[in-house]
Homo-oligomer: A and B are copies of this chain.
């Protein structure tokens, strides 16, 4: 299976960076302290866009098998209320990757500050490139194109890419696995990951299953980005309904002690 193969290749090929570059120090202020100042004031907003796919048991997964299940434990007609038990893998649905996902020294989901989860949103539009190349690797030029149009990526922002892949979410093309089980979906070129590492950014969001390429074997962006204290967001929806510049993303990542991530509710405020 692809996962086993990838894991084996990964374990054999990739060496942990000795001292991954850390994200620049953030303003102090814990999430339980009185109101914590955001780095940038957010303009008045009037609209909201739901960037979250509906999660259901057949939601496509990296592994190729379901990782979300529900069991009804209470029924209104008998118990007066409805309730379900869920069993899930943290990295299912529109979901959060905490730094701990790829680094034992990284922050777990509960330790990522609220100020890191309410940040400006910059959306790279690579739909045209991805339409003709399932393995499209988003380049530093795509970032440059954005910056020519909209100015520099704002400090502390989340960089998202819109490859149009959210439209495929419940079809075979979302994973787009070939006969060998290798997936083919767009992702960030390793050089683009390296470029983004030089910036003071909070997170990466993508509309694909992973912000590394579907056919990667070494996950270069995951392995650099998360250990540096930054977060990821995968399987994001509706980025085409958000302006490329000027929106604020609110990442409702579950605040679970010790977690490496989890299914999130994500909004854009415009």
Contact = CB atoms under 8 A, between A and B. Distances in A.
A120 to B, nearest CB: 13
Contact of A41 (B45, B73, B88, B222): B45
A41 B35 contact: no
Contacts of A223: 80
A38 B43 contact: no
Given A36-B49, A42-B269, A89-B85, A55 B257 contact: yes
Given A32-B238, A50-B31, A101-B82, A256 B55 contact: yes
Interface residues of A, number: 87
A185 interface: no
B84 A259 contact: yes
A260 interface: yes
Interface stretch (A102-110, A152-160, A175-183): A102-110
A250 interface: yes
A88 B86 contact: yes
A114 B48 contact: yes
B90 A88 contact: no
Interface in A46-80: 46-50, 52-56, 67, 70, 73, 76-80
A132 interface: no
A56 B252 CA distance: 17
A21 interface: no
A97 to B, nearest CB: 9
Copies in the complex: 2
A223 to B, nearest CB: 8
Contacts of A187: none
Contacts of A53: 255
A78 to B, nearest CB: 8
A118 B269 contact: yes
A114 B237 CA distance: 13
9 contacts: A35-B48, A35-B268, A48-B114, A70-B256, A70-B259, A77-B104, A81-B260, A94-B255, A253-B265
Interface of A: 7, 10-11, 14, 31-38, 41-50, 52-56, 67, 70, 73, 76-91, 93-94, 100-104, 110, 113-115, 117-118, 219, 222-223, 237-238, 241-242, 250-270
Q: In the A-B complex, list the 3 residue pairs whose CB atoms are closest, starting with the nearest.
A: A252-B252, A31-B50, A35-B47
